[in-house]
């Protein structure tokens, strides 16, 4: 065997940090030691010291990357996850739909499978679990899902939707309620933020994330609230919303209640309100609400806002949501400070404008270079020629600076108006949302009269694991005309496309790879047919509510 070639130190010192780590890893022995034949002839002592320090750093990185697995910590995390899933299954079983009786004429193969004591564990679908969690959180907070939980798979297969939109919009509405009542969340929801982050890390198959988070929180409980963190960005957005996304001209709950009542009156809704005799919307109008004009025909006890939104009944909350939907898009445009003075500003977003801007910068730069060459040639000529070339160069530099500044300003404008253009899409979709809210309002009113609200909401919950039909690997596909067969009725949906928000920056700053809890818009031509079919059909009020929630979708 030939002698191993010794590598000069100078050659190794030219390697970058990543290259040096890879080189050392390739020379690692089976016992973990690293042996490298090195020729240090002609190397300076100070250079050798620095190189030895780099070798030690690279060795530490290799050892850190190959640290052993903490089996005890992994076992604890698995037990936590199993306990959470067990509690969730119990919760789902309590609010699930009644199980459907299985046909008695089953094949022998099916009977054998049912009698088998071994239960097949379905594959874990993180998108599906996250959407179920958003669905449950929406119902728990008093919201009304757009579709029954049995249609969840069809919604997840829709690739044009973004981010749990219904839950986000409902959370925005809850913020609207608090802000117009001048109520601030306790500790700004920091503990809820930490709890939500821990739950997310439990669902991610990388146990190091949760371990690192627990270690950071143990060292500093406010480590997630420091400068530049996602929590701090969320607080900035919440502060902006408290300032701008609220009822215009209101000075607290008193004036907000009167404004909400007035808007609902214009929309044809009856309510209980303070009659403003002096026209100043002051606190006297609210304090006198129950003491004067009790027999006034304008007063009706159906809608009465409460200073604490959690004490309101479902009908009042939904009516408040209805009046919010009418002005939410316009308030967002007003408060964003991105309103354009004229329509010609839309030209900035076109490709023609971008090409012209690029050509202007290129021509201005070429003029500067040409003026510099002319000035260099004029160095041997007279002072007048040199002075003329100097002035020409100065003018070219000013024009170049102006072209660059104009290009940067336009690019910044395009970046800053991304949210404005997304809001314009929201304004276009607003009539659809309002129509859906009105349809749901009738359901809420009927449920309040008959006391079937809980059953109707329960119809949107997932069935228990024992009665869930396992799906085959070839999932149901949506046909070209958008018809989905859910087993008991045929529903037509029209997919709504919408601009995507940048990461962690949707309506409230949460931009994610999550799916939409909305985005299903009914065909308007089928509304009358659907309503007639529902009137002719039989079933409980809960079933009707569940079907309408799935059929009358839209962003809410």
What is the pTM assigned to this prediction?
0.36
Q: Which helix (H) or strand (E) holds 484?
A: strand 483-485
What mean pLDDT comes out for the span 386-398?
86
Q: How far apart are CA 482 and CA 494, in angstroms?
A: 6
Digit-coded pLDDT (tens) for 172-197: 878 877 887 878 776 667 888 888 88
**Residue 456 pLDDT exceeds 60:** no
Q: How far apart are CA 346 and CA 360, in angstroms?
A: 19
pLDDT of residue 115: 44
Mean per-residue pLDDT of the chain: 64
What mean pLDDT comes out for the span 423-442?
70
**Residue 379 pLDDT exceeds 50:** yes
pLDDT of residue 349: 66
pLDDT of residue 154: 79
- What is the CA 375 to chain-centroid distance, rounded? 57
pLDDT of residue 524: 40
Q: Which of residues 184 and 418 earns the better pLDDT score?
A: 184
pLDDT of residue 89: 67
Digit-coded pLDDT (tens) for 16-32: 778 778 877 777 776 66
Strand 7-8 and strand 520-522: pairing?
unpaired
Q: How far apart are CA 95 and CA 287, in angstroms?
A: 42
pLDDT of residue 51: 75
Radius of gyration of the chain (CA): 33
| Burial 179-207, CB ≥16 within 10 A → b, else e | bbbeeeeeeebbeebbeebeeebbeeeeb
pLDDT of residue 404: 80
At 281, the pLDDT band (50, 70, 90 cuts) reads very low
Q: Where are the alpha helices (DSSP H) in 66-180?
A: 71-94, 108-115, 126-140, 152-156, 165-180
At 145, the pLDDT band (50, 70, 90 cuts) reads confident
Q: Which of residues 458 and 132 earns the better pLDDT score?
A: 132
**Structure tokens of 159?**
């690739």
pLDDT of residue 520: 35
Q: How many CB atoms lie within 10 A of CB 551?
A: 25
At 427, the pLDDT band (50, 70, 90 cuts) reads low
Q: How far apart are CA 176 and CA 247, in angstroms?
A: 9
Q: Which of residues 337 and 269 earns the better pLDDT score?
A: 269
Q: How far apart are CA 372 and CA 365, in angstroms?
A: 11
pLDDT of residue 33: 74
In the chain, domain spans: 7-65, 343-416
Least confident among 38-52, 107-121, 521-535: 107-121
Q: Which of residues 381 and 316 earns the better pLDDT score?
A: 381
**Structure tokens of 148?**
């029954």
pLDDT of residue 441: 79
Residue 491 three-state SS:
strand
């Amino acid at each position: 065997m030939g002698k191993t070639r010794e590598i000069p130190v100078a050659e190794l010192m030219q390697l970058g940090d990543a290259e040096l780590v890879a080189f050392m890893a390739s020379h690692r022995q089976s016992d973990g030691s690293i042996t490298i034949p090195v020729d240090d002839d002609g190397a300076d002592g100070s250079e050798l010291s620095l190189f030895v320090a780099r070798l030690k750093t690279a060795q530490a990185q290799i050892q850190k990357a190959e640290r052993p697995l903490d089996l005890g910590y992994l076992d604890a995390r698995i037990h936590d996850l199993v306990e959470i899933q067990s509690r969730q299954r119990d919760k789902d079983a309590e609010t699930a739909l009644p199980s459907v009786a299985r046909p008695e004429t089953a094949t022998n193969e099916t009977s054998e499978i049912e009698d088998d004591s071994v239960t097949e564990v379905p594959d874990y679908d993180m998108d599906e679990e996250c959407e179920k969690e958003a669905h449950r959180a929406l119902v728990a907070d008093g919201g009304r899902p757009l579709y029954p939980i049995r249609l969840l798979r069809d919604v997840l297969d829709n690739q044009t939707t973004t981010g749990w939109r219904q839950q986000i919009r409902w959370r925005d509405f809850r913020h609207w309620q608090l802000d117009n009542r001048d109520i601030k969340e306790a500790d700004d929801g920091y503990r809820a933020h930490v709890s939500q982050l821990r739950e997310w890390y439990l669902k991610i198959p990388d146990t190091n994330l949760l371990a690192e988070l627990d270690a950071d929180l143990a060292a500093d409980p406010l480590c997630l609230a420091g400068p530049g963190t996602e929590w701090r960005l969320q607080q900035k957005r919440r502060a902006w919303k408290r300032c701008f996304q609220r009822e215009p001209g209101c000075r607290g709950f008193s004036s907000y209640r009167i404004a909400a009542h007035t808007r609902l009156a214009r929309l044809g809704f009856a309510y209980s309100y303070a009659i403003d005799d002096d026209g100043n919307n002051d606190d006297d109008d609210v304090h006198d609400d129950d003491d004067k004009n009790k027999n006034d025909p304008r007063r009706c006890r159906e809608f009465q806002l409460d200073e604490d939104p959690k004490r309101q009944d479902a009908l009042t909350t939904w009516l408040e949501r209805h009046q919010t939907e009418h002005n939410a898009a316009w308030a967002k445009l007003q408060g964003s400070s991105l309103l354009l003075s004229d329509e010609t500003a839309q030209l900035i977003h076109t490709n023609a404008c971008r090409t012209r801007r690029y050509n202007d910068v290129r021509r201005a730069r070429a003029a500067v270079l040409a003026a510099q060459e002319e000035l260099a040639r004029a160095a041997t000529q007279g002072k007048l020629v040199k002075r003329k070339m100097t002035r020409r160069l100065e003018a070219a530099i000013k024009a170049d600076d102006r072209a660059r500044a104009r290009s940067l300003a336009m690019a910044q404008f395009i970046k800053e108006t991304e949210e404005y253009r997304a809001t314009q899409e929201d304004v276009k979709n607003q009539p659809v949302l309002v129509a859906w809210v009105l349809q749901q309002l009738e359901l809420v009113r009927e449920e309040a009269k008959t006391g079937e609200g809980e059953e109707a909401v329960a119809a949107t919950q997932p069935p228990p694991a024992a009665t869930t039909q396992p799906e085959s690997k070839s999932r149901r596909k949506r046909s070209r005309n958008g018809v989905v067969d859910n087993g008991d009725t045929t529903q037509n949906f029209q997919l709504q496309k919408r601009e995507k928000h940048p990461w962690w920056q949707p309506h409230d700053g949460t931009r994610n790879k999550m799916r939409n809890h909305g985005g299903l818009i009914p065909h308007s031509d089928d509304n009358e047919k659907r309503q007639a079919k529902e009137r002719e059909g039989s079933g409980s009020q809960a079933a009707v509510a569940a079907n309408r929630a799935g059929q009358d979708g839209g962003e809410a």
